[in-house]
Chains A and B, each alone.
Chain A
Amino acid sequence: MSSEPSGTEQARGPRGLRNDQFSGLILIALALFIGWENRAFPVGSLQDPGPGYMPLGLAIFLGLIGLLIAIRSGDSPFLLAAPWPEARRAVLILLMCGLAALALERIGYRLTIVALLILFLGVVERRKPLPVALVAIGFSLASYYVVGDLLLVPLPRGPWGF
């Protein structure tokens, strides 16, 4: 028996879960998680509903709706067939912003923004060093001046006072 897909199988396209089935199942899992976490809070009674009353109701509702979405997934495209061409770059952007969030209160706003813009423009977008440096330093200093100095919004400074 050959491991190559037959012509008929290729014509059928990718199989497996559909988008709506997948997202419906995720919603059900989320509802179960909320229901589980909600054990810590008293549900109370009808006369005196407790802090767990509404979260429990919402978890049940979310689970039921998730089930409905998963069941009614007829026209939804297959999960594997859906194009996610920008996904890799999206993950990279989120990782870099995560690094910036970690650095923000450690090395200060200005240095964080300079580093983040150099990473984006120099490493991800591969722009020329001079414009990258100008944009990174210019944006960082100008935004700090406007927001921090003019609008008096407190922005974090690094251990070097910068």
Chain B
Amino acid sequence: MAETLQNLLLGFSVALSPQILVYAFAGCIIGTLVGMMPGLGPLAGISLLLPATFGLNPIIAVVLLAGVYYGAMYGGSTTSILMRIPGEAASVMTCVDGYAMTQNGRAGPALAIAAIGSFVAGTLGVVGLMLLAPTLAAWALRFGPPEYTALLLMGFFILAYMSGGSVPKTLAMAALGLIFGMIGIDTMTGYTRFTFGVIELGDGIGIVPVAVGLFGISEILLTAGAVAPPKVQRPKLRELVPSGEEFRLSLGPIGRGSLLGFLIGIIPGSAHIISSFVSYGIERRLSKHPERFGQGAIEGVAGPESANNAAATGAFVPMMALGIPTSPITAVMIAALMVHGILPGPMLIQQQPELFWGFVASMYVGNVVLLILNLPMVGLFVNLLRIPYAYLYPCILCFCILGVYSVSSSVVDVWIMLAMGAIGYALRKFGYDLAPIALGLVLAPMLELSLRQSLAMSAGDYAIFIERPIAATMLGLGALIVLFSLKPLISKGKDWRASVGLESERS
């Protein structure tokens, strides 16, 4: 514990330097604005800002991008509460009771509780990250190729089970993502696969064009024909203070949402989205007056908002400790670190303690910045929503083209982004979840390499995955999850999605 505190002090000495503070501040503001814009969620925002971090030092780059991430999580809740427009998918549940509170004249307290819940959850999440990541990293040093193969396979099974959509559709998307990840030169043999004569594809498909296309362009294609935005309310500062009763009702949901969100955040998938749905379902079930939900219950804002922010922090645990992204957002963050020659994983915390602990401390700072910045300035930020969408979406498209081109100065990346936009649009119309594609793309080289190395180690004997205890445990857990996943396919009983109303909301 003393060592952790000492490391944290080291982190704060990095995070409180004026330069880092400025970038954390800038990241939070950019993130808030990005989160408020329909069509630009945290993923597209981080992807588009990635080229701008190439010239920065790695700590600043990761602090800036993390600021964008949790700033966007907060910004999404503002539009959900004031306009019933979720700036990003994790804020869908906040729309329900948040907007109802706005209609009841309680927009201010809804925004305040969302901000306080996000702050508490974010802070608790960082404590969890601080305590869990080094332990996990130390344990992961025992991992060899079979353990990594088992871990990645287990991750895909958990992703399929926890995903908001149907299990077969999620698995199909994960397979599609893995196939996209096969494009390019095979690192073990030098064979060039599925490039169809396009030289630029030799290096494979990058995560940025895929992420911007799937999540940014497809959203614009779906919403481009939207009518003029509804009237925007601008709550005044004095209207933000919640009543004592509202505070009392929010305490439990904030605590439960923080814990639940952090745990779900560690699991692969669209954790921040799923956690908000699950939290809403739990709060509705625990409430003595469930009929209030949908009519402006503050618990329906406090729970999901805390959960999605805690999940955003939880996702950094496997990223930092294992080098494995559990969401497309952390995949882009890993890409950002790799540009600077840093490979997240078990050795990162030992070899670059100032980076890890500086990042952890900057998250504390970022949470405080968001709380101080966003509540008084909410009236200023909502002005962005007054820009007619007819002007906004062409500018967002230009940003997408600019951002994707900037990553590697390649028009092929722009074409990939457009193709992914079209694919994402069609898949969303058919009810497919897109996050597994991005995850599959990023994890494919790691999975293929570790699988082939494992088989080479064992002379082709698949028993290597059972003989090694860590790998066997993870595969056993994966098999158990597969069995749970198959239950709704076989029987007509409801699974967890139906009980929290997830499928109906997402379809």
Contact with B along A103-114 (1 / 0, CB 8 A): 011000100010
Q: Which of A20, A61, A117 contacts B398 (CB 8 A)?
A: A117
Complex interface: chain A residues within 8 A of B286 (CB): none
CA–CA, A152 and B394, complex, Å? 24
Count B interface residues, CB 8 Å. 63
CB atoms of A113 and B398 under 8 A apart: yes
- Is B55 interfacial (CB-CB < 8 Å)? yes
Which among B112-120, B340-348, B421-429 touches the partner chain?
A: B421-429
Complex interface: chain B residues within 8 A of A116 (CB): 394, 397-398, 401
A162 to chain B, nearest CB (A): 16
B151 to chain A, nearest CB (A): 17
Complex interface: chain B residues within 8 A of A158 (CB): none
Complex interface: chain B residues within 8 A of A97 (CB): 217, 397, 401, 414, 418, 421
- Is A130 interfacial (CB-CB < 8 Å)? no
Among the interface residues B394, B405, B422, B430, which one has the most CB atoms of the partner chain A within 10 A? Answer: B394
Contact with B along A10-29 (1 / 0, CB 8 A): 00000000011011000100
CB atoms of B456 and A65 under 8 A apart: no
CA–CA, A105 and B188, complex, Å? 35
B504 to chain A, nearest CB (A): 12
Interface of B is mostly: helix
Q: List 23 A-B contacts (CB under 8 A).
A: A41-B186, A46-B462, A51-B186, A58-B175, A62-B175, A65-B171, A66-B172, A69-B168, A72-B168, A86-B224, A89-B221, A89-B224, A94-B421, A97-B421, A104-B405, A113-B402, A120-B394, A135-B395, A151-B55, A153-B51, A153-B52, A154-B409, A155-B405
Interface residues of A (CB under 8 A from B): 19-20, 22-23, 27, 30, 34, 37, 41, 45-51, 53-55, 58-59, 61-62, 65-66, 68-69, 72, 76, 82, 84-86, 89-90, 93-94, 97-98, 100-101, 104-105, 109, 113, 116-117, 120-121, 125, 127, 131, 135, 139, 143, 147, 151-156
Interface residues of B (CB under 8 A from A): 51-52, 54-55, 166, 168-169, 171-172, 175-176, 178-179, 182, 186, 188-189, 191, 193-194, 217, 220-225, 390-391, 393-395, 397-399, 401-402, 405-406, 409, 411, 414-415, 418, 421-422, 425, 427, 429-432, 447-448, 451-452, 455-456, 459-462, 489
